[in-house]
Amino acid sequence: MSGSGARNAAQWLAGAAPDPQTCLREWKRSPHRITLLPAGRRWDVLILPGGLGHPTLDVLNRLVGRPGPVLADFGESRLGFFVPPGTAGRWMGTGIRTAGRGTWIVVPYPGRSVGKVRWLVVPDGSGTLNDPALLELAMHEAAAVVARTERDADGGR
């Protein structure tokens, strides 16, 4: 990601913070280049297990070319898809965790890999998010692919 692209994305993300300028300064000072940001203001996050999240991201890439922001954490065992605010409060899906108003998430500086948290799709700085309806459709298609793969691995049982 170019320097100006990362700065635009960082400014957009920092806009979710109670004090965006302090957030940007902390990002620069932190040796890990991470910060905590509140969900529910500019975005919510739907957190999928990696076994479903990766195939879902593959489907989204085929459908839209460039999906909204996606974070991976803890060895990519979970993926966080950034969606419009309010989505977390309405989401009903087994095995899907949500981060909405009242929750905070660890966010690395755009374009940086930091320890166990990294961007799979870096925010573009314009506010583009993942469409919840399209994300749900991609999750269903990905779940079907995962189920087929598991069935085939078991010899079709």
Contact status, residue 131 vs residue 63, Cβ threshold 8 Å: no
Q: pLDDT digits over 122-157, tens only?
A: 999 999 999 999 999 999 999 998 888 777 777 766
Q: pLDDT digits over 92-113, tens only?
A: 877 899 999 999 999 999 977 6
Cα separation, 150 vs 125, in Å, equals 38
Cα separation, 11 vs 72, in Å, equals 20
Q: pLDDT digits over 117-128, tens only?
A: 899 999 999 999
User: Region 27-55: what's the mean pLDDT?
Assistant: 91
Dig out the tokens for 19 from the structure: 């004090």
pLDDT for res 31: 74
Q: Is the pLDDT of residue 57 over 90?
A: yes
* Sequence-ordered list of residues with C-beta below 8 angstroms from that of 71, at least 6 positions apart, any chain: 45, 79, 80, 82, 105, 107, 108, 117, 118, 119, 120
Q: pLDDT digits over 18-35, tens only?
A: 999 999 998 888 777 888
pLDDT for res 156: 64
Cα separation, 134 vs 106, in Å, equals 25
Cα separation, 34 vs 60, in Å, equals 26
How much is the pTM? Answer: 0.91
